[in-house]
Amino acid sequence: MVFVCRKEHFNAAHRLFNPSWSKEKNEEVFGICANEHYHGHNFELIVIVKGTPDEDTGCVIDLKKLSKLIHSEVIEKLDHKNINLEVDFMQGKIPSCENLVVAIWEILAPKIADIAYDPHARLHCIRLFETQNNFVEYYGEW
């Protein structure tokens, strides 16, 4: 098994806010991240695919195809957007990094095998950096 990794990035605004809580409760839990006027980040997204290198190509997956898939399904929807207001797959969810990686996983996981050389290749991990020091990882349901 080989892990093939693709790094992408997007810049977006968001706020952490639970609509079923009061303003005071949101500020208590989320602090400055609850700012009603939003704030933003340079997000870095790493998508890791697990598979066996194909004999004919020596590759698990065509990284150009993987990059195009991530761009069309994820990056174009998030880049230079307000995640709370504009991103269809995050509506009704708090746009924390945790919720973002799970949503990105659900979008990409069913589409990996279709573009891979290895028919058994599958999504292994979604890693999302919100800042250089804060990042989350999701490996799907175990």
Partner 1 sequence: MKIKVCRKEHFNAAHRLHNPAWDETTNQKVFGKCNNPYFHGHNYELIVEVVGEINPETGYVMDMKELSDIIKTHVTERFDHKNLNLEIDEFRNLNPTAENIAVVIWNILRKQINSQYELKIKLYETERNFVEYPA
Residues of this chain that interact with partner 1 (CB under 8 A) are 9, 11-14, 32-33, 35, 37-42, 79-82, 85-86, 131-132
Rounded to whole angstroms, the Cα distance separating 31 from 17 reads 10
**Residue 66 beta carbon to partner 1: minimum distance, rounded to whole angstroms:** 21
Measured from the CB atom, the residue of 33 and 115 that comes closer to partner 1 is: 33
Give yes or no for a contact between 111 and 49, defined as CB atoms under 8 angstroms apart: no
Query: Active site residue: 33, 59, 98, 125, which one?
Result: 33
**Residue 123 beta carbon to partner 1: minimum distance, rounded to whole angstroms:** 26
**Residue 121 beta carbon to partner 1: minimum distance, rounded to whole angstroms:** 30
Amino acid type, 110: P
Measured from the CB atom, the residue of 33 and 109 that comes closer to partner 1 is: 33
Measured from the CB atom, the residue of 135 and 139 that comes closer to partner 1 is: 135
**Residue 105 beta carbon to partner 1: minimum distance, rounded to whole angstroms:** 23
| Residues β-bridged to residue 138 | 126
C-beta contacts of 83-91 below 8 A and 24+ residues apart = 83/12, 83/13, 83/14, 84/13, 84/14, 84/15, 84/17, 84/38
Query: Active site residue: 76, 80, 120, 137, which one?
Result: 80
Query: Active site residue: 8, 44, 86, 130, which one?
Result: 130
CA angle at 67 for the pair 11 and 139, rounded to the nearest 5°: 80
Q: Which helix (H) or strand (E) holds 25?
A: helix 23-30
59 an active-site residue?
no
Catalytic residues: 33, 80, 130
